[in-house]
Amino acid sequence: MIKISNIHKSFGENEVLKGIDFVFEQGKTNLIIGKSGAGKTVLLKILVGLFKPSKGTVLYSDLDFFNLTKKQLTELRKEVGMLFQGNALFDSMTVEENIRFPMDMFTSMTTKEKQMNVNRVLERVSMTGINAKFPSEISGGMQKRVGIARAIVLNPKYLFCDEPNSGLDPKTSITIDDLISQITKEYNITTVINTHDMNSVMEIGDNICLLELGKLAWQGRKEEVLDTKNEDLHNFIFASPFLQRLKNQALK
């Protein structure tokens, strides 16, 4: 579980986040949604420690993330996995080397153990047999899966995904969403996804936080989305004319 309280973030005069309180629950896919410029990416970067909030606290279980000792931070880092929007796979390394990287860097596992782990996670994301390929030799969807494999190889307690569906076709998007959701349940981890993909919201949104102009505009579950009277959420969901038409037809 991650609990954030009164998170503010400013860049010079520009206040991007204006006092966000939220609880990202364990064993659930927690979604941060909102329009472009709402502050989703900044919030996600604060959660993983790439930005420091101007004010407020981030608690991992009961650990205050920005007041940890170096040792505590190093230990916590091992429990965090992240899938980036552009995958962030290292170009000069093969798929196997990419997945092995956190193990090579921070564990004393034997080569055999590392190999077993690589194969285990590649099998989990249905990508067996591509160990020797370089990221440039596989498709965007495959790169996402490899990114997920690298993120979960050390059995993290927290998984962060920055727009996991961007640049993917609808079918692959659904597959990636399902995979993240399954892994979340399987490993009982706290997953936080930053997205503006409505399909993700409706399919895997166990716990959703809507940001609007740097403020928390709505929170709830996917089952509550369609029934809400919240104007911000309504505007966000039906921003697409196609969905608006569908809704009008359904109402008729």
Identify whether the C-beta of residue 6 lies closer than 8 Å to the C-beta of residue 21.
yes
- State how far the alpha carbon of 113 is from the alpha carbons of 81, 110, 149, in Å: 19, 5, 16
CA–CA separation, 52 and 109 (whole Å): 33
Nearest approach in angstroms of CB 23 to other proteins is: 21
| Closest to other proteins by CB, 150 or 232 | 150
Site string for other proteins, 82-111 (x = CB under 8 A): x-xxx-x-xx---------xx-xxx-----
| Closest to other proteins by CB, 19 or 49 | 49
Nearest approach in angstroms of CB 251 to other proteins is: 43
Nearest approach in angstroms of CB 133 to other proteins is: 18
Query: C-alpha angle 52/158/222, rounded to 5°?
Result: 100
DSSP 67: G
Residues in the interface with other proteins (CB under 8 A) total 21
Nearest approach in angstroms of CB 24 to other proteins is: 16
Nearest approach in angstroms of CB 228 to other proteins is: 33
Site string for other proteins, 49-88 (x = CB under 8 A): xx----------------------xx--xx-x-x-xxx-x
CA–CA separation, 186 and 89 (whole Å): 24
Under the binding rule (CB under 8 A), the answer on residue 167 touching other proteins is: no
Nearest approach in angstroms of CB 90 to other proteins is: 6
CA–CA separation, 165 and 161 (whole Å): 10
| Closest to other proteins by CB, 49 or 167 | 49
Q: Which residues contact 210 (CB under 8 A, 6 or more apart)?
A: 33, 34, 216, 217, 218, 219, 230, 232, 233, 236
| Closest to other proteins by CB, 49 or 220 | 49
Q: Which residues contact 204 (CB under 8 A, 6 or more apart)?
A: 29, 31, 177, 178, 180, 181, 193, 222
CA–CA separation, 105 and 21 (whole Å): 35
Identify whether the C-beta of residue 196 lies closer than 8 Å to the C-beta of residue 182.
no
Q: What are 92's two structure tokens?
A: 């000069």
| Closest to other proteins by CB, 84 or 187 | 84
| Closest to other proteins by CB, 85 or 175 | 85
| Closest to other proteins by CB, 93 or 174 | 93
Which of these ranges, 30-38, 45-53, 203-211, 227-235, lies near other proteins under the rule CB under 8 A? Answer: 45-53
Give which of 49, 36, 70 is closest to 7, Cα–Cα: 49
Contact positions toward other proteins, by CB under 8 A? Answer: 48-50, 73-74, 77-78, 80, 82, 84-86, 88, 90-91, 101-102, 104-106, 160
